[in-house]
Structure 1
Amino acid sequence: MPFPYKTVLITGATSGIGLALAERMIAGGSFVIAVGRRKDRLEHLVAKHGADKVAGEAFDIADLAAMPGWVKQITTKYPSLSCIVLNAGFQRTIDFTHPESVDLDLHTLELNTNYLSPLHMTTLFLPHLISLNSPNKQAAEKLIASIILVSSGLSIFPFPRCANYSASKAAIHSLAWSLRTQLSSPHSPATQHIRVIELLPPAVQTELHTQQEDLVKLGQDKIGLTLEAYMNETWAELDKGHEEIKDEIINSAHGEALFRAEAVRKTGFEGFMGALRKMGVKI
């Protein structure tokens, strides 16, 4: 199924994977609502592609208190919005062997940005996404909808150097499985038109790494796939309609072990859900 969403919102759209996704979607014919904190970059994106193809919306997605009003404003301004891409996040080193060096405020913000913000945003956008397929709409007016969550390969195998980041992405990965299971339940016909898609990127050469001074000093800020290589494959998988997109370019022993471990976990999860359903437990 070709990427079917005509109006898409993307957080973290001023750099890296978010910006690359925005430009692919614009090229594919979607109208993109680009969200980020850096207004100058949003203005550059609009100037580059045109206001008829992209809108810049400056917002700090870590501001949870302001989010309900902002979401209401967005859904009122863009009623055809049918896909949200929750991509914004950042990564910092945490060293428990030197606890005095751990900045708890910074790592609280990291968890807030990487996990709590997508959790809040998903919840707040869901009433709008549900309404796109409401019974009082004509068949031609009904739309399928999608929530795209960006986690990480580190959601499966954590990287101790960035333990808090890995934990936040593991939370997103778990949330994606639970959210998909709930929304697709036959007991919830009002939400079955909403797909939950998860991207699990490997290390990709973006600002996620170059913003970390310790990695720059070690020369490890350019480890991973080029953004173009990652995006070529990811866009192809999105275009096919896949719901869980892992990077198949990784052909290392680590990559193979990651996919093997994930397959075992997925089988176990599906068996667990089946057992709960047989017992009549609401999931």
Structure 2
Amino acid sequence: MTATAASTSAQSASCGGIVCITGATAGFGAATARRFAADGWRIIATGRRQDRLDALVAELGADSCLPLCFDVRDAAAVQNALENLPEAWRAVDVLVNNAGLALGLEPAHRCSLDDWMTMVDTNIKGLLHVTRALLPGMVERGRGHVVNLGSITGTYAYPGANVYGGTKAFVMQFSRGLRADLHGTGVRVTNIEPGLAESEFSVVRFGGDADRAAKLYAGASALRPEDIAATIAWAVSCPAHVNVSRIEVMPTSQSFGALPVHRA
């Protein structure tokens, strides 16, 4: 590809199309919707809270944002919504699998089994439901991009991240498997792996305890949702012949530490 062709390809990737963003009602999802809308994309925004979807449409405009209210855990609802997209919205160029959550920080022997199942159903099964619904169309059109929201926790374990970390390890390996399966199709796959990031994420994790969540971020200069939105936008805007497979991103204040040793 010539430099001119590469430039044209990059420009076309950043000038708009249709992006489907799950969990678009808060945090990374809402910031990504705003970023892509500002770049001229049309947004299919999915989420469980109709009032927040309505607010997003009011902000971005009905011509630019199509709201779909469903829970990604509900396979039938996902399939019904995405199979019945209006004709003008069916050629989805980018899927951002953002919907996900962590619940609790208790050690495995004290965790809630219900919380474990909710994380598995949302972070793994939900991602699979949406991906399987939209991927065939991308392959048929010979273009597309699946962006999965993983976490550094899928690579680096820490106390209390037991099942949450396991779900994000799945997302990382599933992303690699998709790349292998999609070889030669023109469809790209990127796994974004954020570190400490300030959003509703920790409020949900701590059962609505905003004070506890605030203490986690105090003085840390954590990542912001807009930082992750910018990272996603960059990966998507790369020329069509460039696949950014994996991005690990942490705040400057976060790094690595020694493995603990318990001494009797």
Normalization by structure 1: what TM-score? 0.75
C-alpha RMSD of the superposition:
2.5
Partner amino acid, structure 2, of 1:206: S
Counterpart residue type for residue 170 of structure 2:
A
Report the 3-state secondary structure (helix = DSSP H, G, I; strand = E; otherwise coil) of the residue aligned with 1:254: coil
Deviation at 1:235, TM superposition (A): 3.4
What are the residue-to-residue correspondences of 1:109-148 with 2, within 5 Å? 109-133=118-142, 144-148=143-147
- Contact 1:215/1:221 (<8 A) preserved: no
Aligned to 2:166: 167
Q: Which amino acid aligns with 2:148?
A: L
Provide structure 2 residue ranges, at least 5 long, that are not aligned to the other structure: 1-9, 259-264
Give the conservation status (yes or no) of the 8 Å contact 2:194–2:250. no
Q: Is the 8 A contact 2:153 2:161 kept in 1?
A: no
* Cross-structure match for 1:271: none
The Cα of 1:94 is off from its aligned counterpart by 4.5
Counterpart in the other structure of 1:205: 198
Q: How does 1:160-239 map to 2 (within 5 A)?
A: 160-184=159-183, 189=184, 192-211=185-204, 212-213=206-207, 216-217=211-212, 219-220=215-216, 224-239=222-237
Query: Greater CA deviation, 44-53 or 58-67?
Result: 58-67
Match of 1:15 in 2: 26
**Preserved CA contact (<8 Å) 1:93 1:163:** no
Q: How much has 1:72 moved relative to structure 2?
A: 1.1
Q: Quick one: percent identity of the two aligned structures?
A: 27
* Equivalent-residue separation in structure 2 for 1:68 and 1:225 (angstroms): 33
Shift of 1:64: 2.1
Q: Which residue of the partner structure matches residue 247 of structure 2?
A: 245
Contact 2:70 2:77 in 1 (8 A): no
After superposition, the Cα gap between the structure-2 partners of 1:166 and 1:49, relative to the gap in structure 1 and judged at 3 Å, is same
Deviation of 1:63 (Å): 0.9
TM-score (normalised: structure 2): 0.80
CA distance in 1, matches of 2:135, 2:86: 11
- Indicate the structure whose relative CO is greater, using CA pairs within 8 Å and at least 6 residues apart: 2
Distance 2:80 2:24 in 1: 20
Count residues in correspondence: 238
- Per-residue deviation, 1:70: 2.6
Q: Which residue of 2 aligns with 1:74?
A: 85
Distance 1:229 1:94 in 2: 25
**Structure 1: which 5+ residue stretches go unaligned?**
134-143, 258-283
